Amino acid sequence: MSAGRVAFAIAFLSTITWATHRYVWARLVRDAGWPGGWGRGLTVVIVTLAVLVPLTFLAVQALPRSLNGPLAWLVYTWLGFALYLLLLVALSDAGRGVAALAGLLPEDADRRQVLSRTIAIAVAGMAAFVGIGGLANASGFDIRRVRVPLARLPRSASGYSIVQLTDVHVGPTLGREFIEHIVAETNALAPDMIVITGDLVDGTVEHLREHVAPLRELKARDGVFFVTGNHEYYSGADEWIAHLTTLGIRVLRNERVAIADAFDLAGVDDASAHRMLPGHGQDVPRALAGRDPARAVVLLAHQPKAFKDALLADVDLQISGHVHGGQLVPFNWLVRLDQPFVQGLHVVGRSAIYVSTGTGYWGPPMRVGSRAEITRIELVSA
């Protein structure tokens, strides 16, 4: 990421962080008027965490994982709890607004303070309950099995298995141990092919080289393939593309390869790549140029929105990730404003798309309303 982008991101993040933390502090600390040193102590904690958020962003960009890891765990975990504090405080304010219009709020100042303290305790308790559950839910992943009929897949190739890994986000809070676990579980599925559909890393090759090294042990008869996600472009995409090839991983950049007599496999750059690096960018027509229309085509594209182009190109199956199944409710609803599909298998005409919920997580080490997955996709002749 360029220095200008980093500066803008820090300024924007600092502004949003300060505004949200001040709002949460005002409702849960100031309005509640906690006695003794409680109010001062909570204020110090919230201000400290607000300052640490942009500092952690800088540390993640500049320092090795061994140095930024503990700080990232603290701050990213707090951000997950803070998100739910913010949402619940906003809902409580809306409720109080309705109560005020209905003339139901107490007029006595002491009773108003009691109400504020009660709401603060309830909000904090609910956020803690949701956050702790989200931490536990993000500690592992499921093995999800999906069967996809393809009309143009020959009978001889029916039962072909593809294991999809995506959105692992190796970086501040996920490292080598997690990758070793993924590799072991993936190899145990004995797939014909392994595909990694982007957002593998959050950091540079220099900082994460040793953490992704176990990917060299991935084993599949027809190989391991990769397409870039948007986070590769925040982390030095060209360097990662070059490094992954040294691990035996084939990177597909708007190109297509024939998989024996079974089908064609195509892969495209991330949809946002053209804004990040010259010569990069999603190009489905280029990837499929000269294809034999009688052969089935499986397209790897990080973002589900590439399905618009896949439909026009008569692709049989698109495999994507990016949206993490929303990762944290209510983002599973909000991402629908940007992406046509959030998770699972969808069929439109002769084309299908499978959207994984992701194998890791991004930011807060939490999942609320979604589970991480390694996906085994079985292609069957229709």
Superfamily the domain 142-381 falls into: Metallo-dependent phosphatases (3.60.21.10)
> HEC states along the chain?
CCHHHHHHHHHHHHHHHHHHHHHHHHHHHHCCCCCCCHHHHHHHHHHHHHHHHHHHHHHHHHCCHHHHHHHHHHHHHHHHHHHHHHHHHHHHHHHHHHHHHCCCCCCCHHHHHHHHHHHHHHHHHHHHHHHHHHHHHCCCCEEEEEEEEECCCCHHHCCEEEEEECCCCECCCCCHHHHHHHHHHHHHCCCCEEEECCCCECCCHHHHHHHHHHHHHCCCCCCEEECCCHHHHHCCHHHHHHHHHHCCEEECCCEEEEECCCEEEEECCCCCHHHCCCCCCCCHHHHHCCCCCCCCEEEECCCHHHHHHHHHCCCCEEEECCCHHHCECCHHHHHHHCCCCCCEEEEECCEEEEECCCCCCCCCCCCECCCCEEEEEEEEEC
pLDDT confidence band for 62 (50 / 70 / 90): confident
Residue 3 pLDDT: 66
pLDDT at position 107 over 90: no
Q: Summarize pLDDT for 162-208 with one digit per residue, the tens.
A: 999 999 999 999 999 999 999 999 999 999 999 999 999 999 999 99
Q: Summarize pLDDT for 344-359 with one digit per residue, the tens.
A: 999 999 999 999 999 9
Mean pLDDT of 372-376: 98
Q: C-alpha angle 363/320/149, rounded to 5°? A: 145
Mean pLDDT of 62-90: 92
Can you read off the two tokens belonging to residue 323?
């949206």
**Sequence ranges of the domains in the chain:** 3-137, 142-381
Residue 65 pLDDT: 84
Mean pLDDT of 228-234: 96
pTM of the predicted model as reported, rounded to 2 decimal places: 0.94
pLDDT at position 1 over 70: no
Residue 382 pLDDT: 86
